[in-house]
Amino acid sequence: MSVASAGVVLFGIYLLVMVAVGILSARRQSSPTDFWVANRSIGLPVLVMANMAAIMHGGSVLSGVGIMGQVGAVAGLPYLAFVGGIAVVFFFFAKKLRNSKGFTLPDFMGDRFDSRFLRGFSAVVVAFSSIIYLIAQIRVMGFILERLLGISFFWGMLTGTIVFVFYVATGGLLAVVWTNIAQFVFMWIGLLLMGPYVYDRVGGWFEVIEKVEAVAPGWTSPAGTGWTLSFLVSWYIIWFVAYCTRLELITKMYAAKDDKVARRSLPWTILLVMIFLLYGNFYIGGAARVLVWDSIAAPDQAFPALVTAILPPLLAAFALTGIASAAMSTTDSLLLMSGAAVSHDLIRKCFHEPRGVVRDERYYLFWSRVTIVVVGIVSFLGAIPDVDLILKIVSYAVAILGATFFFPLLAGLTSRRVSREAAIASSVGGTLSCALWITATLMGASWAASIHPGVVGLATGGFLMFVVGRFTPPVTGAAVERFFPESST
Amino acid sequence: MLGLPFASFMLLFVLPGLVLAPMFYYSWRLRKGTWD
């Protein structure tokens, strides 16, 4: 049996499960609260699994193995930033977000700063950055399905896109959460199955370290094999902020049964993420460097190459399905976010409500489904041209999100004294400077390449929040009471 | 052979653990109802 024939069977079963979940959960959708936040009913174990599956994207393993194999274990140092970012959500964001009873991050921006403009702007940023993110995930799917099913890269991307667009558009967040659980299981089984085979070929943890150091001197050193300090620091900042503003995670806080469940899910989520990454990137990445590095053309191919080299076909198919799961479980959350951003935030809150237009819930559900399909198609088209390392594309998407939302979230949820103007200046200024820097980097400007666009966006956002905030009056009234109920009594 | 480089690596495990520990502590207090 070849990987492709095992893959067709296994992935076929996987797809059927996803589609069935979409159809089953569609039967439970009657209101936007059902569709977007699963009726705010998710308990702790399910939330932990859904969180973990959502924030581990396809690139976390595929590019993670690639980048660690390439530059050394130091590439894992920013993982500390992941935990730091989650700690900020745990201590400062989760409770107030859950209790504010919103649906989306644009809801927070609009409600907290009493600004329709900020709501609309945030919705556009969410939809736009989701598309960039989706492009990266669809490419992961292309890589994986190419190996798994023996089809072309193009058809791999198309198959993956059609499936997740279908189950998200039909089943909403409930489908996302249920499929996330199945994907969580696939991800872990897929990766853990590799353990004995990698162990057999290169030995345990310490032996991998010794062997990789022998083939790539400096791999275990604090500088890796070509990792500069400025690169490390900027990735560190980007990931810290990214984990404070991961849409897939923040939005799930709204779906928790209560604020305690929302918060308690976070340490468990990030603990699982750390175990997954230290094993999945560090151990597997080291092994890939030792075993397959000479046979691959690009770092992103290291994982698929390793899997097909050391695993029997059926298990190889399992491991690859696991990565496809990781990609899909992130994609589906983002796709849902962009549906909510357009239908709930733009159409309903920015256009209909101010004009007194009343439509029934089915109207908004219809438009969110249309958006989901359109965003899926646009992302698919964007994924066709050949692009850079997947993790780099993801880092641009999270950089834009961080620059837009980090300071408004941090200031808006920790202080009553934030002005609307400061939030707008920080959000818009951060986004624009980040976007300009990305454009300059992509156009090959040498002055732009040395600093990550996200760092520029954040510095601008933080500066504007501070300066504009000093000269403008804070938002008052219901907008503040909703997020700081304890101090109004 | 694995002296200093290896020690630097351990940071991968120790530092995230230092941030995780207080989160678990407060999470436990949340469950007990002694922190809000």
Domain assignment present for A473: no
On the question of pLDDT at A328 being above 90, the answer is no
Contact A84 B27 (CB under 8 A): no
The residues near B3 (Cβ < 8 Å, ≥ 6 apart) are none
- Please tell me the predicted confidence (pLDDT) of residue A36: 79
Q: Does A87 contact chain B (CB < 8 Å)?
A: yes
Mean pLDDT of A106-121: 94
- Please tell me the predicted confidence (pLDDT) of residue A143: 84
We report the CATH number of the domain holding residue A287 as 1.20.1730.10
Mean pLDDT, all residues of chain A: 89
Task: Report the candidate in A240, A253, A279 with the shortest Cα–Cα distance to residue A399.
Answer: A240
On the question of pLDDT at A162 being above 70, the answer is yes
DSSP line for A121-157:
HHHHHHHHHHHHHHHHHHHHHHHHHHHHH---HHHHH
Domain assignment present for A51: yes
Q: How far apart are CA A204 and CA A78, in angstroms?
A: 24
- Please tell me the predicted confidence (pLDDT) of residue A91: 95
The nearest alpha carbon in chain A to B34 belongs to: A260
The nearest alpha carbon in chain A to B31 belongs to: A260
Q: Distance, in angstroms, between B32 CA and closest chain A CA? A: 11
Q: How far apart are CA A344 and CA A359, in angstroms?
A: 12
The residues near A463 (Cβ < 8 Å, ≥ 6 apart) are none
For the record, the structure tokens of A461 come out as: 């956002």
A16-25, A173-182, A362-371, A468-477 — most confident range = A468-477
- Please tell me the predicted confidence (pLDDT) of residue B14: 80
In chain A, positions 186-225, which contact chain B (CB-CB < 8 Å)?
A: 206, 209-210, 213, 220-222
Contact B31 A77 (CB under 8 A): no
Q: How far apart are CA A272 and CA A56, in angstroms?
A: 10
Radius of gyration of chain B (CA): 15
Domain assignment present for A457: no
Question: How many angstroms from the chain centroid is the CA of residue A98?
Answer: 19
The answer to whether A338 and A371 have CB atoms below 8 angstroms apart is yes
Bridge partners (DSSP) of residue A334 are none
H/E element, A217: none
On the question of pLDDT at A344 being above 60, the answer is yes
| pTM score of the predicted model | 0.91
- Please tell me the predicted confidence (pLDDT) of residue A92: 95
Domain assignment present for A453: no
Question: Residue A163 — pLDDT band, cuts 50, 70, 90?
Answer: confident
- Please tell me the predicted confidence (pLDDT) of residue A471: 95
A51-55, A79-83, A205-209, A421-425 — most confident range = A421-425
pLDDT tens for residues A356-389?
999 988 898 899 999 999 999 999 998 888 766 6
CA distances from A131 to A53, A332, A354 (A): 19, 12, 28
Q: How far apart are CA B28 and CA B36, in angstroms?
A: 11
Q: Does A313 contact chain B (CB < 8 Å)?
A: no
Domain assignment present for A61: yes
Higher pLDDT, A205 or A201: A201
Task: Enumerate the residues of chain A whose CB falls inside 8 A of the CB of residue B22.
Answer: 87
- Please tell me the predicted confidence (pLDDT) of residue A489: 47
pLDDT tens for residues A44-81?
999 999 999 888 887 788 888 998 898 888 888 788 88
Which member of B5, B8, B16 has the closest CB to residue A79? B16
Domain assignment present for A420: no
Contact A221 B8 (CB under 8 A): yes
Task: Enumerate the residues of chain B whose CB falls inside 8 A of the CB of residue A260.
Answer: 30-31
How many residues belong to chain B?
A: 36
Q: How far apart are CA A227 and CA B20, in angstroms?
A: 26
Q: What is the complex's ipTM, to 2 decimals?
A: 0.88
In the three-class reduction of DSSP (H, G, I as helix; E, B as strand; rest coil), residue B34 is classed as: coil
Mutation target among B8, B10, B20, B23 for the A interface, most CBs of A within 10 A: B23
The nearest alpha carbon in chain A to B11 belongs to: A77
Mean pLDDT of A227-254: 86
pLDDT tens for residues A170-204?
888 888 888 888 888 888 888 899 999 999 999 98
In chain A, positions 258-287, which contact chain B (CB-CB < 8 Å)?
A: 260, 263-264, 266-267, 270-271, 274, 278, 282
Domain assignment present for A320: yes
- Please tell me the predicted confidence (pLDDT) of residue A393: 78
Which member of B5, B12, B23 has the closest CB to residue A87? B23
The nearest alpha carbon in chain A to B27 belongs to: A264
On the question of pLDDT at A274 being above 60, the answer is yes
Residue A226 sits in which domain range?
3-403
Mean pLDDT of A338-345: 91
Task: Give chain A's domain count.
Answer: 1
CA distances from A301 to A381, A389, A390, A451 (A): 22, 10, 11, 27
Mean pLDDT of A429-445: 92
Q: Does B7 contact chain A (CB < 8 Å)?
A: no
Domain assignment present for A359: yes
The nearest alpha carbon in chain A to B4 belongs to: A221
Contact B26 A210 (CB under 8 A): no
- Please tell me the predicted confidence (pLDDT) of residue A110: 94
Mean pLDDT of A382-404: 82
Rounded to 5 degrees, φ, ψ at A258 are -150, 180
On the question of pLDDT at B1 being above 50, the answer is no
Bridge partners (DSSP) of residue A256 are A42
Contact B31 A80 (CB under 8 A): no
Bridge partners (DSSP) of residue A42 are A256
On the question of pLDDT at A390 being above 80, the answer is no
Rounded to 5 degrees, φ, ψ at A256 are -65, 155
**CB count, 10 Å around CB of A246?**
24
Which member of B19, B23, B31 has the closest CB to residue A80? B19
The residues near B6 (Cβ < 8 Å, ≥ 6 apart) are A209, A220
